[in-house]
Amino acid sequence: MDKRPIGVFDSGLGGLTVLKEINKYLPNENTIYFGDTARVPYGPRSKETIIKYTFQAINFLNTKDVKAIVIACNTATARALVEAKEKYDLPIIGVVEAGARTAVYSTKNKKVGIIGTTGTINSKAYNKAIKSMDSKIKVIGKACPIFVPLVEEGWANKEISSMAAHMYLDSLVEKGIDSLILGCTHYPILKRTIGEAVGEDIKLINPARETALDLKNILEKRNIINTSEKKGNCIYYVSDINDQFSKVAGEFLKRKITNLEKIEIHRY
């Protein structure tokens, strides 16, 4: 029985969609969320910078005595997970492997699409993960940098998002993919719009759920699960607080955020 919290880290607020799945499948676990809102988005930044930011986030979470860390950010997972696992001793779980595995199970024609930020797509992290599981699968990536700002503007279900979805995704559909990984934690909010743009024959894969199940497995195997019957609490930390925070956070998490604190992340 291990009551220590699980650390969940994202470049901003998108990781709240992952936190939500963790709270669903591991309701008794305490969680610490850190969103690096002072330096979001990570998507366009260099690998070197993303590694530095990820280490700082892990250093911070370690001051809270976490028993495991979920990097709930596709860009940070794609660019810095390997380096983080080398540097730190505790279990660190990214969102890429879980999403890749689900895609491998899902695809029948062995053509998988992956969409995400420029950083995630350029890293080819999903391609590598999928190829390592089934080398015959063809993986086609497409960076969609407008999607995050569209979600944050609250325009996810408006015609402009549908237009952006077609501009990005028509070429993927033409290439005959049968599964599409939503490789950015903001994209589940666009799920309906993306689904309408690509048509119902293409299965949309949201790595967040699978990541939560991975985490559950790992906690059980290591015997560090929290067996308390009390509902876990969550404390939220961000590196900057702005006006949009509660609006976006509410939309992602579908519940009100309390226990929010700002920290100086560059000190870690």
- Binding residues vs a copy of itself (CB under 8 A): 38-39, 44-46, 49, 118, 122, 145-146, 148-150, 152-153, 155, 158-160, 163-164, 167, 240-244, 266
Minimum distance from residue 238 beta carbon to a copy of itself (Å) = 10
Decide whether 13 or 92 has the Cβ nearer to a copy of itself: 13
| Annotated binding-site residue? 11 | yes
* In contact, 103 and 74? CB cutoff 8 Å: no
185 annotated as belonging to a binding site for a ligand: yes
Complex with a copy of itself: residue 217 or 244, whichever CB lies closer: 244
Least distance CB 113 / a copy of itself (angstroms): 19
Rounded least distance, CB 149 to a copy of itself, Å: 5
Q: Which CB sits closer to a copy of itself, 133 or 163?
A: 163
Given the residues 32, 73, 80, 115, the one annotated as active site: 73
75 a known binding residue?
yes
Pick the catalytic residue from 104, 184, 190, 197: 184
Do the annotations mark residue 246 as ligand-binding?
A: no
Instruction: Specify whether 73 is catalytic.
Output: yes
Decide whether 49 or 106 has the Cβ nearer to a copy of itself.
49
Q: How far is the CB of 39 from a copy of itself (least distance, A)?
A: 6
The catalytic residue positions are 73, 184
